[in-house]
Structure 1
């Protein structure tokens, strides 16, 4: 399988394209001093690989950005094998193991095989939730025959938090948001606005498509509050981006008292929509795509619960191996 993305080392034995992003992901985190937010990592990798705007914006069936989904898969495998961890919500970090390593073919084979074997055992109920945490040294000497466990893995949402305590929480959060009805998504966006400080948020229960879904007041200081309106758009067709015409209809539904619009979507916005939102002489519309929704949830702890878990520490036991 040849890579869709330029600049990613080809590895014909890998049927899963995300494996080609293991080293670029490690390199990007090193460039950022060992840890960074996902958005920063995506930008570093995309710039380094010279991805076009079209390649950066291409989506998978679930509606997420395909390039970012590939990175999320790569990150999941690196976390499960001890090269990365997450010190807090929305932060990706290299472990000591991941700081200096450059993975060669046998290393990547071993990572893939180790995670797949763990997942197979987990499905059979033979292991608990804790994933493998280090490469088996003997596996590097024997190239793995890669067999894709999930034929749609490249286009599937990356593992949910239920897969293991080490897995990224984002895909599970995406799935929960995707399962909302349109009315539920409006209420969710109303809750987001309230949690970030917008006052007196009210939904209109429920506007026709293109109208205002709710209003509120964004306080500027002790004396001034700006009236705002929002729309929460959950496209009926998976992956469809919000267009400039939809921004225009939303703006047209605002009365003269509204100082700013906020447009939420479970997908993304076209480039024309982004330009329309900032058009001079018109009420500015703040665009909040799925990725920004996730960042807000992470920053304010909305819909996320921290859990402390106990996992084996292989490094501790190294000195007892003779």
Structure 2
């Protein structure tokens, strides 16, 4: 090989294994609907040099609401432990005015929040709490719940009134456990009214959710004493839940009153609430049998026509048959 040839080779610049061209191509592929998933793997393999590309994609809002490329960026950033970019994104998030764009942005926010929450790094808790307090996006509420901190309770209680974030808030309360019971009890006993003076639907749904959570956490006698008036609540589901708490936590006398009230509520309930009443009466037939028999004999008839009357009687017969079989099996 000639000396001139060697000089030519030495004069050529050494190719940068992760040059601008390659990073630009990575950004293009990350946005691709067909190449995006493979591009995420490549970005992770590239490592730190890919972080600016991923960060830029994360902050790139899309008026069409397309979120998958940005969600891929979240995944790669958390694998690369580039949490500063995710923290900055979550802390500065604001909802878009356009509903289509906002939908996509909320999906990306949720992915970033969940990624930060799974680290359980206390540094991220104030950021998540601040965003969740303003914008109760389901995944943000979920991420807040991972920390199991009592400071989250006011935010989680508000989220119980929201149809979109309620499920995430309920799961967060399950993670908190018994320390959340006093706050749930307070909400369950408080009615929020709207401009017409009636209880708002959001307040009703919030109270229902709080009561169901208290049933899961295990109601106490003290809880029953605070909530005993709910068995007469104007909302049938809340009244049913109050009765269920009474049967679980009250003494025999109060338990009998709750069983009697459940039988009276049965004609007003529709599926799946009527099935819930049947199940509760069946499981407590030792207390409820007297009232089931009296209702079958005509003591109570809340139906308005023959079809509803027949449905009511069928429900009572199912309760008696299944409950009796259960008692026989246990004896």
TM-score using structure 1 length = 0.26
Structure with the larger helix share: 2
Structure with the larger strand share: 1
Q: Give the number of the structure whose alpha-carbon radius of gyration is greater.
A: 2
TM-score using structure 2 length = 0.25
